[in-house]
Amino acid sequence: MGQPDIATHDDVVALIEAFYGQAFLDDLLGPVFIDIARMDLAEHMPVMCEFWETVLFRAGTYKRNALKVHVDLHERAALTPEHFGRWVDLWHATVDAMFTGPTADLAKVQGSRIAWSMSRRLMGESGSEFITIHRATL
């Protein structure tokens, strides 16, 4: 039998714990979480679980502004596309190591969309995945 899909609160907790366990050890992301954000993982876990349960299950429990947290962090130390790329790679690897199925796929798609939207917005661009093509005036 294959891996289970993400289906419960406990699944989300396990995923978030595994992901941040790896992120804290990562050469690129670890210093951001530990030294700059000074993230208290025990305190942050319920918030991240609310966020992902809202994203994956439409739980509606996350009521904060995720972008603002990253804008504040970006003002202290520039978050680059390299940071977001590493986050996406690590997120996908963690999901793939633990889960398989439609909700796991959704976690990867939404993780990528959210990460790249934040990256674009922090760089002063539109958060949209879509680029508007302007026709030159003749």
Residue 74 lies in a domain: yes
Predicted confidence pLDDT, tens digits, the chain (138 residues) = 689 999 999 999 999 999 999 999 999 999 988 888 888 888 889 999 999 999 999 988 887 777 777 777 778 788 889 999 999 999 999 999 999 999 999 999 999 999 999 898 888 875 555 554 444 544
Residue 133 lies in a domain: no
Residue 67 lies in a domain: yes
| CA dist 133 → 31, 118, 136, 137 (Å) | 38, 21, 9, 13
Residue 132 lies in a domain: no
Provide the CATH number for the domain around residue 21.
Answer: 1.10.490.10
CA atoms within 13 A of residue 129's CA, in its CB half-sphere? 7
Question: In this structure, is the dihedral angle defined by the CA atoms of residues 59, 53, 75 and 33, taken in order, positive or negative?
Answer: positive
Question: Domain range holding 36?
Answer: 9-122
Q: How many domains does the chain have?
A: 1
